[in-house]
């Protein structure tokens, strides 16, 4: 499996819900947060913090090629050859879906590389081998964050419906009616993997011990399913202080790119290639 750390850098964390003091529900992917005063504000700030916690690299303060050369990393170089779009590198959580597919959970919306407009993918690193390759994304969408209970039967009510006694068929129908697909994932044994094409959230209620709790079940964290057996790599040296990633044979679509962040570690970023 792949090395995962990050540079500009965020560690994919558990999805925080709506509370000043979190209350966890047991389970392999486990916690939804109870709502208390200021819950919405806390949910927004805590979720962002958990999904985008920095790991020590300074933030980019500019979008010029001069800044990119001094900061290092991986960038989309625009057609003017003077401005860049940085790709923030994340330590993403990887899991096996089956023998052929892997999934990573976390990160940001992809940066666009429009080759028709003359944009290029470049990297600046202390090593000419700093770019580790890219993986073609087979499927992407939104799921619950790491640490959030994903088994519907673990809740008493979701979206105002009593779900605790649902059969597998009833659970599948309930999710399908809300645009959610139920897959499974090898995280300490197989667990439910909820997938949605769009970001969504539902009211959730459950007992924690003898205490009745309420919160939100959120599918707001990006996921990317890919075939881990192949890497797209190859770079073109330049005399301008950066190497260009050879994307000439890449099909249009979504990719995960892997880049060194030093110390033998690597980070990932999503990239939409046009």
pLDDT digits 0-9 by tens, 65-115: 999 999 888 999 999 999 999 998 887 777 878 777 888 888 888 999 999
Query: Which element (helix H / strand E) includes 49?
Result: helix 39-51
CA 167, CA 176: separation in Å to the nearest integer? 14
Put simply, whether the predicted model's pTM sits higher than 0.75 gets the answer no
What pLDDT sits at residue 107? 85
56: its two tokens: 């020590």
- Locate the DSSP E strands across the chain: 10-11, 73-77, 84-86, 90-91, 93-96, 102-105, 111-113, 120-124, 131-143, 157-158, 161-162, 180-186, 190-196, 200-208, 211-219, 221-226, 235-237, 243-245, 253-262, 265-273
Report which DSSP code applies to 115.
G
What pLDDT sits at residue 105? 87
**Placement of tokens 């994903």 in the chain:** 150
What pLDDT sits at residue 196? 97
Q: How far out from the chain centre does Cα 136 lie?
A: 15
What pLDDT sits at residue 48? 36
What pLDDT sits at residue 261? 78
CA 236, CA 255: separation in Å to the nearest integer? 19
CA 145, CA 246: separation in Å to the nearest integer? 33
The SS3 assignment for 40 reads helix
Low-confidence ranges of the chain (pLDDT < 70): 1-62, 187-189
What pLDDT sits at residue 188? 66
What pLDDT sits at residue 203? 97
Closest CA to 18 of 217, 223, 219, 221: 217
What pLDDT sits at residue 194? 94
The SS3 assignment for 166 reads coil
């Amino acid at each position: 499996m792949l090395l995962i750390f990050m540079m500009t850098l965020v560690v994919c964390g558990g999805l925080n819900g709506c509370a000043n003091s979190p209350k966890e529900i047991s389970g392999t992917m486990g916690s939804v947060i109870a709502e208390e005063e200021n819950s919405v504000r806390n949910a927004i700030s805590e979720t962002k913090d958990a999904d985008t916690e920095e790991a020590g690299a300074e933030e980019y303060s500019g979008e010029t090629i001069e800044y990119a050369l001094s900061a290092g990393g991986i960038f989309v170089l625009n057609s003017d050859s003077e401005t860049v779009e940085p790709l923030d590198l994340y330590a993403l959580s990887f899991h096996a879906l089956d023998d052929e597919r892997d999934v990573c959970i976390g990160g940001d919306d992809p940066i666009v590389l429009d080759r028709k407009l003359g944009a290029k993918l470049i990297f600046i690193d202390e090593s000419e081998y700093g770019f580790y390759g890219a993986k073609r994304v087979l499927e992407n969408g939104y799921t619950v964050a790491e640490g959030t209970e994903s088994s519907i039967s673990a809740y008493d009510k979701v979206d105002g419906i009593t779900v605790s006694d649902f059969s597998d068929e009833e659970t599948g129908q309930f999710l399908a009616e809300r645009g959610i697909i139920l897959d499974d994932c090898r995280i300490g044994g197989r667990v439910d993997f909820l997938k949605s094409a769009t970001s969504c959230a539902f009211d959730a209620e459950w007992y924690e011990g003898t205490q009745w709790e309420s919160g939100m079940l959120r599918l707001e964290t990006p996921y990317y399913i890919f075939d881990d057996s192949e890497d797209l790599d190859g770079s073109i040296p330049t005399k301008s202080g950066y190497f260009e990633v050879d994307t000439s044979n890449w099909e249009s679509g979504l990719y995960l790119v892997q880049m060194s962040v030093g110390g033998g570690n690597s980070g990932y970023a999503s990239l939409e290639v046009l």
